[in-house]
């Protein structure tokens, strides 16, 4: 299992916290591993091969971009990017005019430069990452210049839509990270979304209080999480199968209650309203980014806090250390007195609450009404974000944002009548997800004891 590990040391904040039990914890998946002798040579060869394949891939795609986007764009036209969001309350920002052809060509060349850098600077982890980032950004910009040439696209609107799509995904992915770090695979995120969305809409409608709805959504998600925990931990059911079954169960229950209760009396039971946006003074006035990030509703702010709290919690507190111990090596954790199964119950329940908040965002955070099966697969995308983000909160955020951005882009490009058929544009987010998880991430290892029930003795 350690055969292909990269030799360079990883940045690794994980082992700094929680003093007294740290010695029994299995190393983090990305932890440093010094290989020696023949093994080291084999590793180096593999790394070199990977660098060559990726780098040449970048160059080839760059050439394609040069041909399709650079030379394929009419010269002398501008691509116009609008910089105002839909519910703009601040000052209007004038749209950005970009010479389409020139920029597309420059960006295509940058794609190729990124490929060269990827090969030349293979030794440095930071340079590797930067070259990938450079490639992605340059490619997207080249593509946009080609697609928008002679037309206008609202860039700020696309960013806002990115947040709209990414917020529930981030919350769901956090739930996935906490669950898997503790050794329970949380496929039930979809179900937690759905139940959270349902409970939030119903409670907020009945009580007239959106805050109550938010708490109800969290509680409902937590309930689904506990259900998962009981069957996974107590009855040792295969967690992947269990999660899918729970999702179908929740879909059935909410669907039934919806047709029986919410739909016939929608005024009374399915009319919760939505949280107002609150602008943070100062930060909210930053052009473009301000209204997108700091003029949002309370659930999004809560999401920011939860991301940071989860990161700090997992890697710098006793709770996180124990959670990871239970997820990596439960037997060892047990011998030093950590209650493995109790830890898993608590963490999976907690994770469910976070996913439930994500569900609440779907109703009282955006649209305002519940509709049947409204999560429509977001839970599974959140799970993909967990893997793409390498079981780290910030990684999951990046993955969710990437997915959200591709979704927003698909929406924005549709009205521009590009050469790409609308059906294909709508596929982009899923294609990106598959490529991201399969290709860009490389080899990742989940927590060692994920999906392994723990029984004493």
Partner 1 sequence: MRRVSKVAVVAVTGALALTATACGSKPKDESKSTPSASQGAGGGGGTAAKVKACMVTDTGGIDDRSFNASAWNGLQQAQKQLGAEVKYVTSKSENDYVPNLDSLAKENCTVIVAVGGLMADATTQAAKANPNQKYVIVDSTSVGDNIKGLQYNTAQGGFLGGYLAAAQTQTGKVATFGGKKIPPVTIYMDGFVEGVKYYNQQKGKNVQVLGWDEAKQDGSMAEKFDSPADGERIANDFIAQGADVIHPVAGQTGLGAASAASKSNGKASILWVDVDGYESASNYKSVMLSTVTKAISDSVFQSVKETSEGKYSTTPYLGTLQNNGTGLAPYHDFDSKVSAETKNEINQLKQDIISGKIQITSPAQPKS
By CB under 8 A, name the binding residues for partner 1.
1, 82, 84-87, 89, 152-154, 156-158, 160-161, 164-165, 185, 187, 190, 240-241, 243-244, 247-248, 255-256, 259, 263, 266-267, 271, 273-274, 277, 362, 366-369, 371-374, 376-377, 380, 383-384, 387, 407-408, 411-412, 414-415, 417, 422-423, 426, 445-446, 448, 450-452
Cβ–Cβ < 8 Å for 172, 193: yes
> Between 65 and 323, whose beta carbon lies closer to partner 1?
323
> Between 186 and 341, whose beta carbon lies closer to partner 1?
186
> Between 39 and 448, whose beta carbon lies closer to partner 1?
448
> Between 135 and 388, whose beta carbon lies closer to partner 1?
388
Strand partners, 153: 81
> Between 130 and 244, whose beta carbon lies closer to partner 1?
244
Q: What angle, 0 to 180 degrees and rounded to 10, lies between the N-to-C axes of helices 210-229 and 189-207?
A: 150
> Between 80 and 105, whose beta carbon lies closer to partner 1?
80
Output the smallest distance, CB 154 to partner 1, in A: 4
> Between 88 and 317, whose beta carbon lies closer to partner 1?
88
Output the smallest distance, CB 448 to partner 1, in A: 6
Give the contacts of 247 (CB within 8 A, at least 6 positions apart).
187, 188, 190, 191, 194, 379
Cα dihedral sign, 10-14-16-21: negative
Output the smallest distance, CB 335 to partner 1, in A: 21
Token pair for 224: 């689904």
> Between 325 and 387, whose beta carbon lies closer to partner 1?
387
| Coil/strand/helix, residue 94 | coil
DSSP class per residue in 202-265: HHHHHHS-HHHHHHHHHHHHHHHHHHHHIIIIIS---HHHHHHHHHHHHHHHHHHHIIIIITTT
Output the smallest distance, CB 339 to partner 1, in A: 23
- Scanning 66-124, the segments in alpha helix (DSSP H) are 100-120
Q: Which helix (H) or strand (E) holds 136?
A: helix 125-148
> Between 164 and 348, whose beta carbon lies closer to partner 1?
164
Output the smallest distance, CB 158 to partner 1, in A: 7
Angle at 454 between CA 450 and CA 457, to 5 degrees: 145
Q: Which of 13, 451, 63 is nearest to 241 (CA)?
A: 451
Output the smallest distance, CB 157 to partner 1, in A: 3
Output the smallest distance, CB 146 to partner 1, in A: 18
Angle at 250 between CA 437 and CA 274, to 5 degrees: 85
Output the smallest distance, CB 363 to partner 1, in A: 9
From first CA to last CA, the distance across the chain in angstroms is 25
| Coil/strand/helix, residue 130 | helix
Q: Which of 50, 11, 9 is nearest to 33 (CA)?
A: 9
Output the smallest distance, CB 453 to partner 1, in A: 12
Angle at 287 between CA 285 and CA 288, to 5 degrees: 115
Cβ–Cβ < 8 Å for 375, 197: yes
> Between 122 and 190, whose beta carbon lies closer to partner 1?
190
Q: Which of 366, 322, 310 is nearest to 173 (CA)?
A: 310
> Between 215 and 388, whose beta carbon lies closer to partner 1?
388
10 Å CB burial of residue 443 (0-12, 13-18, 19+) is: exposed
Output the smallest distance, CB 415 to partner 1, in A: 5
Output the smallest distance, CB 169 to partner 1, in A: 11
């Amino acid at each position: 299992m350690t055969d292909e590990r990269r030799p360079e040391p990883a940045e690794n904040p994980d082992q700094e916290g929680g003093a007294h039990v740290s010695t029994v914890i299995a190393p983090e998946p990305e932890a440093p591993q010094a290989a020696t002798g023949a093994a080291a040579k084999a590793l180096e060869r593999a790394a070199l091969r990977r660098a060559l394949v990726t780098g040449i891939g970048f160059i080839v795609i760059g050439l394609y971009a040069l041909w399709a986007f650079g030379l394929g764009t009419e010269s002398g036209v501008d691509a116009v990017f609008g910089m105002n969001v839909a519910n703009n309350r601040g000052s209007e920002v004038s749209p950005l005019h970009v010479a389409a052809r020139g920029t597309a060509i420059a960006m295509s060349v940058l794609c190729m430069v990124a490929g060269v850098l990827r090969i030349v600077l293979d030794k440095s982890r930071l340079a590797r990452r930067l070259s990938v980032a450079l490639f992605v950004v340059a490619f997207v910009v080249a593509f946009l210049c080609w697609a928008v040439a002679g037309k206008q696209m609202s860039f700020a609107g696309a960013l806002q839509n990115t947040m709209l799509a990414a917020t529930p995904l981030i919350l769901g992915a956090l739930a996935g990270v906490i669950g898997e770090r503790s050794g329970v695979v949380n496929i039930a995120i979809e179900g937690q979304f759905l139940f959270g969305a349902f409970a939030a809409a119903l409670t907020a409608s009945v009580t007239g209080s959106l805050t109550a709805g938010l708490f109800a959504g969290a509680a409902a998600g937590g309930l689904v999480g506990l259900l998962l925990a009981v069957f996974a931990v107590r009855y040792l059911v295969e967690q992947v199968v269990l999660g899918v079954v729970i999702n179908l169960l929740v879909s059935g229950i909410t669907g039934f209650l919806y047709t029986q209760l919410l739909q016939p009396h929608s005024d009374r039971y399915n009319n919760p309203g939505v949280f107002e946006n609150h602008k943070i003074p100062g930060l909210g006035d930053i052009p473009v980014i301000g209204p997108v990030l700091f003029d949002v509703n309370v659930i999004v702010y809560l999401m920011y806090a939860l991301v940071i709290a989860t990161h700090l919690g997992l890697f710098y507190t006793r709770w996180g250390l124990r959670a990871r111990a239970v997820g990596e090596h439960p037997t060892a954790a047990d011998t030093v007195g950590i209650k493995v199964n109790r830890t898993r119950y608590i963490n999976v329940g907690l994770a469910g609450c976070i996913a439930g908040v994500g569900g609440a965002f779907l109703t009282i955070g955006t649209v305002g009404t519940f509709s049947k099966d409204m999560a429509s697969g977001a839970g599974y995308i959140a799970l993909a974000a967990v893997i793409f983000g390498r079981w780290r909160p910030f990684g999951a955020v990046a993955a969710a944002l990437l997915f959200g951005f591709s979704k927003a882009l698909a929406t924005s490009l549709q009205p521009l009548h590009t050469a790409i058929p609308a059906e294909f544009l709508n596929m982009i987010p899923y294609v990106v997800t598959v490529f991201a998880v399969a290709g860009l991430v490389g080899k990742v290892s989940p927590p060692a004891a994920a999906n392994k029930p723990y029984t004493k003795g």
